[in-house]
Amino acid sequence: MLFEFFWVLRPKGLALLAFQAIDTTVAVEAIDHRVAVAYRRSPSRLAELLRDNGFTEVCRTVRQPERDERCEQAYPLVATDR
């Protein structure tokens, strides 16, 4: 999927991603969700995958969960290397 992002963005294009975060060495962890299974991802491990697929991480924000959320939220801003 990351490879497809790379090819659809214009050269030096930016993409802002958003996902539920987990702070471990595990890349992905399934969590119970009201509707369907959801996944938390490690921001550091995803940054490695993005780098391996031609992206540069410009910045990253990880925020604490709001009152009605169960886990941290991560927002990496990435750019294509080409």
Per-residue pLDDT of the chain (82 residues; tens, 9 = 90+): 787 888 889 999 999 999 999 987 777 888 877 788 889 999 999 999 999 999 999 999 999 999 999 899 999 999 998 7
Query: What is the reported pLDDT for 25?
Result: 72
pLDDT at 70: 87
Beta bridge partners of 26: none
For 80, the 3-state DSSP assignment is strand
- The CA distance from 48 to 44, in Å, is 6
The residues near 70 (Cβ < 8 Å, ≥ 6 apart) are: 31
pLDDT for 46 equals: 93
Residue 65, pLDDT score: 96
pLDDT at 5: 83
CA distance 61 to 76: 6
Q: Phi, psi at residue 39, to the nearest 5°?
A: -130, 140
